[in-house]
Amino acid sequence: MSDHAHDHAHGADAHEAGHEDHGLAHTTPISLLVGILGVLLVLTILTVSVTSFDLGSRGNLVVAMIIATVKAALVVTFFMHLLWDKKFHLVLFMTSVLFVILFLSMTITDRGEYDKDVEAFRQDQAQLNAK
Amino acid sequence: MSDATSEAAESPKPKSVPPAADHGHGDGHGHGHEEHDPIHLANPNLAHHFDTPQQQFDAGKLGIWLFLLTEVLFFAGLFCAYTVYRSYRPEVFVYAHYFLDTKLGALNTCVLLLSSLTAAWAVRNAQLRQHSLLKLNIVITIACACAFMVVKYVEYSHKFHDGLLPGPHFAPTEQVWELESFKHKHPEAAEYAEHLYKAAEKKKAAAANPAAAAPTGEHAAAGDAHETHVRPTEEQLEPLIAAGILGPKAETRDVPSKPRNAHVFFSIYFFMTGLHGLHVLIGIGIWIWLLLKANKNVFGPNYFGPIDYAALYWHLVDLIWIYLFPLLYLIH
């Protein structure tokens, strides 16, 4: 127990000495921040203007989602400074993304399963109404 | 950890004993110890249960990331509802998107992106002890957040006014083909729907009051019958069927109307944007609190965690809007 504490304290001291000038984490340059905002705004204009082209029933949604994901990646990488952060935080975040993908894809595989029942119910209702 | 061992460790008070050995103490002991600790003396914002500013910062950072993780999963439930319903009833989404104002949505996207920049910049200001710039960036962030909520208020009040409410309260006052957004995109289809609707109305009026309509009724009916037999063009028909105004997905067979269960879209819309808006409101509260804190010039290279964590939360709120905007406003 006391050994562990010792190690810990030493590690922290080393950290302190090494980072005294820079603070506790990476500082993002202003030019980079403003540049990222510029790219995000351009992508926003792009995603709005692309809706005036017909890319098929799925095409527009796929393009919109790709642009949104690029924007999200930019925000997470630079604004949320995951690029310079501990990799563990990246792992945490990607885990949540993975589970969202699992959640959505598992549900979507199931969604057509009840079509027949719904249609049968609707026809029953229509017959009842007709009587 | 027993009290006896820690007491023993503390009493001689050698320099080499790390403050970590003090964990598990009651508050009184902890504070007593703090007074003699050079790191804590040098960092008035370092909580007594942390050894170093780095440890305090890392602990907070891990905490906020865990919180953001739960937030992502929290919103995932709503995104799931959206996905299921959109794949199940695409026509409802096509129908409903004509009621949403893309310009206001795009404006809100830009406002939120700008506030994300100022939030990220505020973190830099805090790290570099730029007190007045920090306060300015927080104020701009709050202003953007308020602008977002004002636009949201305008949008919501329009929806309430037009009867576009979720669930059983859904009673749109306007037909979708009467909307500018629909007319602009499909002028022929709008005209055709209007024509069909008027013809149906006339027929209904004639049926309800056959005596008054009798002299001209037959002529009118004959005329209508003749006109409706003209085959509609692709441009006239396709947008109406895609939006569930006509065809098998519509509420009524012959009269142009709205798709069945159109109200579900507005349940999803209000729940998603409402929950997001609530997050923006909470964000405003957090930034105001931090502005008050920043006013005391407490932030610096060894203590900028609160600004960093709030900014991370704020970016996540932005992130969710990045997906909400195309999913709700830019349906094709």
B189-224 pLDDT, tens digit per residue, is 888 888 888 888 888 888 877 666 555 544 444 444
Evaluate whether residue B223 is within a structural domain. Answer: yes
Same domain, B62 and B195: no
Using the 3D structure, point to which of B226, B257, B288 is the last residue of a domain.
Answer: B257
Same domain, B278 and B319: yes
Q: In this complex, do B318 and A92 lie within 8 Å of one another by their Cβ atoms? A: no
Does B22 contact A at CB distance below 8 Å? no
Same domain, B128 and B144: yes
pLDDT number for residue B6: 44
Nearest-CB residue to B330 (from A23, A30, A51): A51
What is the rounded CA–CA span in Å between residue B53 and residue B39? 8
Mean pLDDT (chain A) is 81
ipTM, interface predicted TM-score of the complex? 0.79
Beta bridge partners, B200, equal none
> Whose CA is closest to B56, among A122, A22, A24, A44?
A24
Q: In this complex, do B51 and A95 lie within 8 Å of one another by their Cβ atoms? A: no
Residue B218, min C-alpha distance to chain A (Å): 28
Same domain, B87 and B155: yes
Three-state SS at A80 = coil
Same domain, B142 and B75: yes
Evaluate whether residue B149 is within a structural domain. Answer: yes
Q: In this complex, do A33 and B121 lie within 8 Å of one another by their Cβ atoms? A: yes
What is the rounded CA–CA span in Å between residue B215 and residue B225? 17
Number of domains in chain A: 1
C-alpha B260, offset from chain centre? 26
Same domain, B89 and B166: yes
Nearest-CB residue to B120 (from A6, A55, A79): A79
Q: In this complex, do B304 and A23 lie within 8 Å of one another by their Cβ atoms? A: yes
Q: In this complex, do B127 and A6 lie within 8 Å of one another by their Cβ atoms? A: no
Residues of A in contact with B51 (CB under 8 A): 8-9, 12
Nearest-CB residue to A96 (from B58, B69, B84): B69
Evaluate whether residue A124 is within a structural domain. Answer: yes
Same domain, B275 and B253: no
Same domain, B110 and B214: no
Domain that includes residue A102, residue range: 86-131
Same domain, B99 and B181: no
> Whose CA is closest to B79, among A65, A89, A60, A58?
A65
Contacts of B233-238 with C-beta under 8 Å, sequence gap 24+, read B233/B188, B235/B186, B235/B188, B235/B189, B236/B188, B236/B189, B236/B191, B236/B192, B237/B189, B237/B192, B238/B189
Same domain, B63 and B189: no
- Beta carbons of B262 and B90 less than 8 angstroms apart: no
Same domain, B72 and B129: yes
Evaluate whether residue B6 is within a structural domain. Answer: no
The model's pTM = 0.81
* Nearest chain B residue (CA) to A100: B76
Domain that includes residue B249, residue range: 176-257
Three-state SS at B250 = strand
Evaluate whether residue A95 is within a structural domain. Answer: yes
Using the 3D structure, point to which of B230, B257, B284 is the last residue of a domain.
Answer: B257
Q: In this complex, do B323 and A72 lie within 8 Å of one another by their Cβ atoms? A: yes
Token code pair at residue B205: 């009026």
Q: In this complex, do A68 and B127 lie within 8 Å of one another by their Cβ atoms? A: no
Residues of A in contact with B330 (CB under 8 A): 47-48, 51, 60, 64
Q: Helix axis angle, B305-329 relative to B53-88, nearest 10°?
A: 10
Evaluate whether residue B301 is within a structural domain. Answer: yes
Q: In this complex, do A9 and B53 lie within 8 Å of one another by their Cβ atoms? A: no
Does B221 contact A at CB distance below 8 Å? no
Number of domains in chain B: 2
Using the 3D structure, point to which of B211, B233, B257 is the last residue of a domain.
Answer: B257
Same domain, B164 and B249: no
More confident residue, B292 or A8: B292
Mean pLDDT of B155-165: 92
Mind listing the pLDDT tens digit for each residue in A27-76? 899 999 999 999 999 999 999 999 888 887 788 899 999 999 999 999 99
